[in-house]
Amino acid sequence: MAKRIMVVKKDKCNPEGCGGYLCMRVSPSNRAGKEAIVKDTDGKVKVNENVITDADRIAANKCPFGALQMINLPEELDEDPIHRYPPNGFSLYRLPIPLFGKVVGIIGKNGIGKSTTLNIIAGLLKPNLGIKDKEADFKELIDKFKGTEAQGFLEKLRDGDIKVSFKPQQVDMIPKKYKGTVKDLLDKANETGLLETVAEKLDITKILERNLESISGGELQRVAIAAASLKDANLYLFDEPTSYLDVKQRVKVSKYIKSLSEEKGVVVIEHDLIILDYMTDLIHVMYGEEGAYGVCSLPRTTKKGINTYLDGYLKEENTRFRNESIIFDKVRSEKQGIKEELTSWKDYEYKVGNFNLKIKEGSINKGEIIGVLGENGIGKTSFAKLLSGEIKSEGFSDSELKISYKPQYLEKNDELVSFYLRNAMKYESTLLNPLNIKSLFTKSLNQLSGGELQRVAIAKCLSEEADLYLLDEPSAYLDVEQRLKLTKVMKDFMYERGKSAIIIEHDLLFLDYLSHKLLVFDGEPSVNGTTQGPLEMAEGMNKFLKKLDITFRRDEENNRPRVNNPGSQKDREQRLKESYYY
């Protein structure tokens, strides 16, 4: 069995850039006259894995573009993959198992095969069992899983007893593929005839007549979820169902997805840990090396699965997949900004169209990160624009701050990343390295995945000279580890340069970890909004959770926040004490 694989990242392989097939020239096996690394038909390189030896690692190390990677697979992975993208591509080991009556979650970093597993379960990708040019038949697959729970599922899939419906990750693509109104799209999906009920549950009744091109990201996400769930299926797959949703909608969508599982099977990929915890019954942790291989671990109960993931150690499999455990601080003890004021404002009222924003007085200090919480359409962006002077409104704030802004929706074009980030070169150690961006330099913005584009946009925003950095939903499409890394990058960056940031964010765990204070928006979306704060964390979070009508406790193992079951003893006690979280 192959304990070692050599992966070729075709998008990075650039035989002209390295002076002509450098890897082939330095590979000891090639030099000994063997065909270990050869030219593929597309002009890039291909590896014959039964020919290469450990010594050929030098060929991978010498590649200036990181296109070749020699990977030692973990000891216990003594088996063939379920699927390998040919040739020399990513390998997937093992599969998640959908269960009827349960919501099964998948957690893991980006590029580790989560979407690939869903594509296989959905029957959209025929696995090849690691053998080139081959589609495994069901018999082989079922044999491979004999005696496991997956066997039963695969047999059902073979017999046509599984009908799958799938919500893809990037909802931004929908208006490009389908033209027409929300209702047109949902009518086509409406096999169950439940359109009206579902629209009501997902809060999209009011936008049914709107054109798909003119609705917001959060609305599009809920339309996509509605469309997937209107199909007459018995297995529903959701790839990141909460991007662009505000916290209230995340809770609503979670309840909806849970309710689907009453009679059907549901599998979700989700990076918002509080929501993943709330929504699922079981979890598969996925681990491996991004772009090279991924392993889907055994299912665990949700609480155990998330804790295992944070811990970085799979006890039953005896596998450590991260060197350090992730533990959250119960008490915040951190370097905070100097208590020097950056800007302040007085009570103020601002009207735009039919929307009325009431701003209560507040101030921001230098070095401070202000988290912003509030529903979509409640005035968060309008407030930021007032503060920056982008919207001029008499008598609001006398200071004119220079603001650098990362919008929620990111534009793509064919500009090269290295050119787009040309002002960021001086932040190599503080931005580019920790956000792992340099490997993207030779790509154009068009070629980036959602998470890659997000990291590039964040680096761009932070590398501009400004007094105040405003980032709108920086967590979208980032995995858990990237989110946590980003908190460290942002905190160090603001502290060391004495700058301030306002972060609009709906992943509560991430926001809680990142912010020094909270600005809370209240009101009725599209009608009116009121700001409160910036408030101290405890006060802000308690206010916000009280409005949402949920209480949080901390996990005893790693202090991560978890939603209390409504009506549970903890929930009732905390409500009595008005202590919704802290």
Q: Which is nearest to 122 in space by CA: 56, 166, 184, 59?
A: 166
Q: Which of 6, 8, 95, 112 binds ligand ADP (CB under 6 A)?
A: 112
Which residue among 96, 113, 288, 434 contacts ligand ADP (CB under 6 A)?
113
Strands 369-373 and 500-504: parallel
- Residue 532 or residue 564: which is nearer to ligand ADP going by CB? 532
Under 8 Å between Cβ of 555 and 570: no
Q: Structure tokens of 233?
A: 């299926």
Look at residue 85 and give the partner it binds from ligand ADP, Mg ion, none, a contact being a CB closer than 5 to 8 Å depending on partner kind: ligand ADP
Counts for the chain of helices (H) and strands (E), in that order? 20, 26
User: C-alpha dihedral over 187, 190, 194, 198, to 10 degrees?
Assistant: -70
Looking up tokens 């350090």 gives 324
Using the contact rule CB under 6 A, the part of the chain among 51-59, 61-69, 351-359, 410-418 near ligand ADP is 351-359
For residue 91, the minimal CB distance to ligand ADP (Å) is 9
Site string for ligand ADP, 487-526 (x = CB under 6 A): ---------------------------------------x
The site partner of 265 among ligand ADP, Mg ion, none (C-beta below 5 to 8 Å per kind) is: none
Q: Tell me the H-state helices in 261-294.
A: 273-279
The residue count for binding ligand ADP (CB under 6 A) is 24
Interaction with ligand ADP in 272-291: which residues (CB under 6 A)? 290-291
* Interaction site with Mg ion (CB under 5 A): 114-115
In the list 30, 69, 115, 297, the residue contacting ligand ADP (rule: CB under 6 A) is 115
Give long-range contacts, CB 8 A cutoff, 24+ apart: 149-152.
149/97, 149/99, 150/95, 150/97
Based on the shown chain and the rule CB under 6 A, indicate whether residue 91 belongs to the binding site for ligand ADP.
no
Which of 28, 66, 89, 217 contacts ligand ADP by CB under 6 A? 89
Q: Which of 102, 380, 483, 516 binds ligand ADP (CB under 6 A)?
A: 380
The residue (of 479 and 571) whose beta carbon lies closer to ligand ADP is 479
- Binding to ligand ADP in span 549-578, by CB under 6 A: none
Angle, helices 217-230/247-260, rounded to nearest 10 degrees: 0
Structure tokens at 520: 């809370």
The helix/strand/coil state of 222 is: helix
Q: Which of 150, 195, 111 is nearest to 449 (CA)?
A: 111
The entry of ligand ADP, Mg ion, none near residue 91 (CB within 5 to 8 angstroms by kind) is: none
Containing H/E element for 226?
helix 217-230
Q: Is the peptide bond before 87 cis (omega within 30 degrees of 0)?
A: yes
- The interface region with ligand ADP, picked from 57-65, 172-180, 330-338, 377-385 by CB under 6 A, is 377-385
Residues of this chain that interact with ligand ADP (CB under 6 A) are 85, 89-90, 110-116, 290-291, 352-353, 355, 374, 376-382, 526
